[in-house]
Amino acid sequence: MNIGAAARHSGLPPKTIRYYEEIGLLKADRAQNGYRDYSGEDVHRLRFVQRARGLGFSVEECRQLLSLYGNSGRESSDVKALASAKLTEIDRKIEELKGLRKTLSHLVASCHGDDRPECPIIDGLAGRTDA
């Protein structure tokens, strides 16, 4: 299977697949004409990475997950630890965004948003507490 087909089956752009190969994440065989040649198992791994990336795992984490994926002697606790850490990280990000949201929505709500130059948002960003 050429890279275009592998891209369609995995949901990753060809550029990204080549990039993953360049950084040593996933290598493909080569056909006689020099084209990359993907097996069904290769495509499985590509989809695997595509899903893991979509769930917020970094490329380096995908590298770890891939080695666990292909390792039938793995312990599920290894994978669970990785995933749990990621979950904690996601929770932290959500809380952080909620904090931003709160501050920003206060500022937006207190701004009348008309043609007058007075603007509580600007004042808030400038650190003026009388906003």
CB neighbours of 82 closer than 8 A, spacing ≥ 6?
A: 57, 61, 64, 65, 68
Do the beta carbons of residue 74 and residue 68 sit within 8 Å?
Answer: yes
Q: State which of positions 34-53 bind DNA (CB under 7 A).
A: 34-36, 53
Answer yes or no whether residue 2 interacts with DNA by CB under 7 A: yes
Q: State which of positions 93-122 bind DNA (CB under 7 A).
A: none
Answer yes or no whether residue 18 interacts with DNA by CB under 7 A: yes
Nearest to 130 by CA among 115, 120, 122, 116: 120
Q: State which of positions 28-87 bind its own copies (CB under 8 A).
A: 44, 47-48, 51-52, 54-56, 65, 68-69, 71-77, 79-81, 83-84, 86-87
